[in-house]
Chains A and B, each alone.
Chain A
């Protein structure tokens, strides 16, 4: 079993929909949680960076961390075709520099 599990998709939604992307993890020591967006043939772009549990909002994006369930989510409101990309979750433990990534979820927002 991988430390971080993420459904690879693809996930197809109509323009304007609310998108929910999720990751589960097994290592209870993870304290830092990141979401990256990766367009085809591009490098990952940092979207959200959160510490421990709770919510963080940035524009149309909301990140949620539920450490008791070992579950993190990224919500995208009013999704746009330009949001079509692969979304990667990443995590790390305190006092380290290694990120452990999920496999990524491919999202398609249909116009």
Chain B
């Protein structure tokens, strides 16, 4: 596809449930980012991959959050034992170059609602 694709678009989870969010970056893009956007706020950085290597996970809010990109293309963000404060839009972005100061292109996001 031409752009970054994320699935599902919407996810409702019961508190305590595990969820998995998928990101298909633009083909050939080396760098992949996950951001979290709370309602009425700007996106906040969660984690960064260069190919399959997770170079920075400093933005992950707790050890319940886990991200992987095993083959350097598709990435999955997993949230274990979801809490209400996890409700947000989770955005994936990719860029062609190796991440430093490059233009990042975002997907449409997955809106997670924890009830």
**How many Å lie between the Cα of A36 and that of B105 in the bound state?**
10
Q: When each residue 85-113 of chain B gets 1 if its CB lies under 8 Å from chain A and 0 otherwise, what string results?
A: 00000010000000111111111110100
Check A60 for interface membership: any CB of B closer than 8 A: no
**How many Å lie between the Cα of A102 and that of B101 in the bound state?**
17
**How many Å lie between the Cα of A90 and that of B101 in the bound state?**
11
Asked whether A31 lies within 8 Å of B101 as measured between CB atoms, the reply is yes
Check B65 for interface membership: any CB of A closer than 8 A: no
Asked whether B100 lies within 8 Å of A44 as measured between CB atoms, the reply is no
- The closest CB in chain A to the CB of B59 belongs to A98
- The B contact surface, by secondary structure, is loop
The one of B41, B91, B102 that contacts A44, using a Cβ cutoff of 8 Å: B91
Q: How many A-B residue pairs have CB under 8 A?
A: 64
Check B73 for interface membership: any CB of A closer than 8 A: no
Give the residues in chain A near B108, CB-CB below 8 Å. Answer: 41-43
Contact status of A103 and B101, CB under 8 A, knowing A43-B107, A98-B48, A98-B56? no
Give the residues in chain B near A49, CB-CB below 8 Å. Answer: 103
Contact status of A98 and B45, CB under 8 A, knowing A43-B107, A43-B108, A44-B91? yes
Chain A proximity of B52: nearest CB distance (Å) = 16
Contact status of A8 and B40, CB under 8 A, knowing A94-B101, A97-B33? yes
Give the residues in chain A near B43, CB-CB below 8 Å. Answer: 44, 88, 99, 101
- For this complex, 14 residue pairs linking A to B, each with C-beta atoms less than 8 Å apart, are A34-B103, A41-B111, A42-B108, A43-B6, A43-B108, A46-B103, A46-B104, A88-B43, A90-B42, A94-B101, A97-B31, A99-B45, A99-B104, A101-B43
Interface residues of B (CB under 8 A from A): 4, 6, 31, 33, 35, 40-45, 48, 56, 59, 91, 99-109, 111
List 6 tightest A-B contacts by C-beta distance, closest first.
Answer: A101-B42, A97-B99, A43-B106, A43-B108, A98-B45, A44-B106
